Structure 1
Amino acid sequence: MLLGKPDVRVIIPAFNEQNAVGLVIDEIPKDWVTEIIVVDNGSTDDTFEQAQSRGATTIKEPTRGYGNACLKGMKHIAESKTQPDILVFLDGDHSDYPEQLIDLIQPIIEGEADLVIGSRALGQKEKGSMTPQQVFGNWLATTLIKIFYRKKYTDLGPFRAIRYESLLTIGMKDRTYGWTVEMQLKAAKLNLRTKDVAVNYRQRIGVSKVSGTIKGTLGAGYKIIYTIFKYL
């Protein structure tokens, strides 16, 4: 159990989210968060300026890749004068409900979990917010993890909270689509305490760079399956 108010920081990877990232930042419960870090992952629009205008710490990672952006945000934290108790990862497309951050960090504060996954499978999904291939992909990946790693997850959702010390122990490496599943696999192998918490999900603003294209869907699917077997 964490004593006192925890130091919570948020990393938001963002690629061409000028119409959404400001709303995401605005809806984060500021009373609970020490710093909001937006990593502009090579955007060609005004994502950087929109995030900066909302008061977020805004940095650039020109090499595209979800994992690259997350790692850049982690590097910023590692170089800070102080480190957080809890780190939250949140997408910049406004598909999640940032106010539910409180629900994700609570099990960590109370000493019940080291990693908390925001599960869209357990929450309420707006019609059309997840494509059939996303639903099937999550089911397949979590089923394979249960079989080979003996760990039950209900989702690979990107909205998640983790104890910072646990994240350092995991030693994240993936630079692209395998980021979320790598974290969950390694948490299972290290016997970290994990918990799925229901989060709601809505249609994102703009077109998804992954599920919105055939190339993105196939690339993500291949990388997730590859990562599951890589760490066996």
Structure 2
Amino acid sequence: MSGAHAASTPRVDLVLPCLDEERALPWVLERVPDGVRAIVVDNGSTDRSAEIARELGATVVTESRRGFGAAAHAGLEAATAPFVAFCDADASLDPGDLPRLLRLVERGEADLVLGRRRPTEHSAWPAHARLANRVLARRMTARTGTPLHDLGPLRVAATERLRALGLRDRRSGYPLEMVLRAAADGWRIREVDVPYRPREGRSKVTGTLRGTVIAARDMSRILAEVHA
């Protein structure tokens, strides 16, 4: 893990919500850039995810409440660096792309930067998940007034400003709530294209039609509750 030696004074804390990702974590953590501390949030793994993360130099946080939002928010609460980033821990996204997103925030050109996924293979993004994302992107664009094409699981913002948004969702709606509350607070939101690869193992959300439907319900609830 290239960023492990810089963990004492990181510029960015990278939150990696994790549930049974022992196969993917070595690939992910090897690609963490210098100056970035990896925070792996173990959300009830039954494999060696937490142990492997520690062996590879990551900070491990345990979140017993199940849910992507619960894990992501636990990572945000643990962050101490000026900037915080989020990334899936399934090897579908490369943490090495993070500096391109961070640069826009550091230069004051954006307040929240989202990585727009560009599949490297057709299998990387199932058709039902792509369709759901397309519909959601249209609704985000209409709600925020900013042209958006993807929810952006790789993303970065200033830590304290993000905490101040008071995010409440602890399920699949967390990433969407972040975008909507940021827009409502007047944040400038930008997208940067990032490669999207086939993940290791099956997704807990988009890997099944049922998971996608549940996530869609969570997103609909957030759209009804949060007004940008």
**Normalization by structure 1: what TM-score?**
0.90
Q: CA offset at residue 214 of structure 1? A: 2.6
Contact kept in structure 2, 1:6 and 1:86, CA below 8 Å: no
Describe the superposition over 1:105-140 as per-residue Cα deviations: whole angstroms up to 9, x where unpaired.
0101111011000001xx353221011121111111
Letter in 1 for 2:101: L
Alignment of 1:56-135 (within 5 A): 56-77=58-79, 83-120=80-117, 123-135=118-130
CA-based RMSD: 1.5
SS in 2 for 1:9: strand
Letter in 2 for 1:89: F
Q: CA offset at residue 161 of structure 1? A: 0.6
Q: Percent identity?
A: 35
**Normalization by structure 2: what TM-score?**
0.91
Describe the superposition over 1:128-159 as per-residue Cα deviations: whole angstroms up to 9, x where unpaired.
10111211111111111222332321110211
SS in 2 for 1:39: strand
SS in 1 for 2:224: helix
Letter in 1 for 2:93: D
Q: State how far apart, in whole Å, the 2-side matches of 1:9 and 1:27 are.
A: 14
Alignment pair present for 1:179 and 2:183 = no
Corresponding residue of 2:141:
146
Corresponding residue of 1:16:
20
Q: State how far apart, in whole Å, the 2-side matches of 1:19 and 1:9 are.
A: 22
- Gaps (5+ residues) in structure 1? 78-82
Letter in 1 for 2:27: L
Corresponding residue of 1:80:
none
Contact kept in structure 1, 2:44 and 2:63, CA below 8 Å: yes
- Over 3 Å counting, the alpha-carbon distance change for 1:125 and 1:229 in structure 2 is farther
Q: CA offset at residue 28 of structure 1? A: 1.0
- Over 3 Å counting, the alpha-carbon distance change for 1:150 and 1:167 in structure 2 is same
Letter in 2 for 1:24: V
- Gaps (5+ residues) in structure 2? 1-8
Q: State how far apart, in whole Å, the 1-side matches of 2:216 and 2:24 are.
A: 25
Describe the superposition over 1:42-80 as per-residue Cα deviations: whole angstroms up to 9, x where unpaired.
011111111111010112112210011011112223xxx
Number of equivalences: 219
Q: State how far apart, in whole Å, the 2-side matches of 1:124 and 1:132 are.
A: 12
Q: State how far apart, in whole Å, the 2-side matches of 1:148 and 1:173 are.
A: 19
Letter in 2 for 1:214: L
Contact kept in structure 1, 2:76 and 2:163, CA below 8 Å: no
Contact kept in structure 2, 1:105 and 1:161, CA below 8 Å: yes
SS in 2 for 1:209: coil
Q: State how far apart, in whole Å, the 2-side matches of 1:75 and 1:227 are.
A: 21
Contact kept in structure 2, 1:6 and 1:109, CA below 8 Å: no
Corresponding residue of 2:55:
53
Q: State how far apart, in whole Å, the 2-side matches of 1:174 and 1:22 are.
A: 29
